Structure 1
């Protein structure tokens, strides 16, 4: 059997961070995300982890006789889905863009408005032992919020779908890690 079992990853821990578009990352991978105050953690995430989906159109072209000679790809879309388990201000802002939360005399008031476009930067930080990977999404947006259950039998959770927008040079995201198995020669 070929391969190296040390190159497989089981992401035992993860955090999702959000900040205004253009916010710098910490200077080094070893620096905590919280060293840049604009980055806000969404808190606990579901044990189901995050999932990345891809969607695109493709059009196949065939030569006479049915031989495939070319495929044109277009309308590529990538998104990440994650479930937040905390009801905090960071999650509130992602679920209800454009809404306002205030506190006066010990009473919190959340005024929910119709959602507006709110492009943000995201970092999905994954950990496997001593290996850390930061997936930096320079521009994304929560484009879908799953159904939120309010009951005594189910934990309140916020399933977010983050659509990733490419940069002008078609970069969707950048992964930074300290995994020696991925070191470029």
Structure 2
């Protein structure tokens, strides 16, 4: 059997964080994200995990006789979908960008929701498989879609977020950091 049975990953746990763009990560992978106070956890995530989607246009060019000679790729778009199960202040800010922070007076919380505004942020998805940790840092992305929110007695209230990832000037979408010794560079 070709391959290495230690390479496949089953991510048994995950956390998702957000901060203002430009916020530094902890110095090392061993340091918890909470060591940098600006990074806020979104809280509990759906058991469905997260998913990454890719979309791009491609145009094929053919030479005489119908032979494919080149493919042009353009309009590359990458998104991550994650479902937040908590209704907390961090999730409120992601779901309602541009709305003022909630207030509390005489035991009553007030959340004023305004028409969403553009709010690019940084994100980190931290995944765990036993002793292996993978930290995916998205320096600049934005919640561009919020799924339908169920308000019932038979479903959890959940916020399905689609985050569009924006590249930097060098075309970098995100950077993965991990301590997986089976995939260490030679």
In the TM superposition, 1:23-172 aligns within 5 A as: 23-100=23-100, 101-172=102-173
Q: Give the TM-score taking structure 2 as reference length.
A: 0.99
CA distance in 2, matches of 1:23, 1:37: 10
> How far is the alpha carbon of 1:105 from its aligned partner?
1.9
Q: Give the TM-score taking structure 1 as reference length.
A: 0.99
1:178 aligns with 2:159: no
Unaligned runs of 5+ in 1: none
Cα RMSD, aligned residues only: 0.5
Give the total of aligned pairs: 185
Unaligned runs of 5+ in 2: none
> How far is the alpha carbon of 1:124 from its aligned partner?
0.3
Q: Deviations over 1:59-110 (max 9, x none)?
A: 0000010000000000000000000000000000000001121112221100
CA distance in 2, matches of 1:29, 1:63: 50
CA distance in 1, matches of 2:110, 2:77: 36
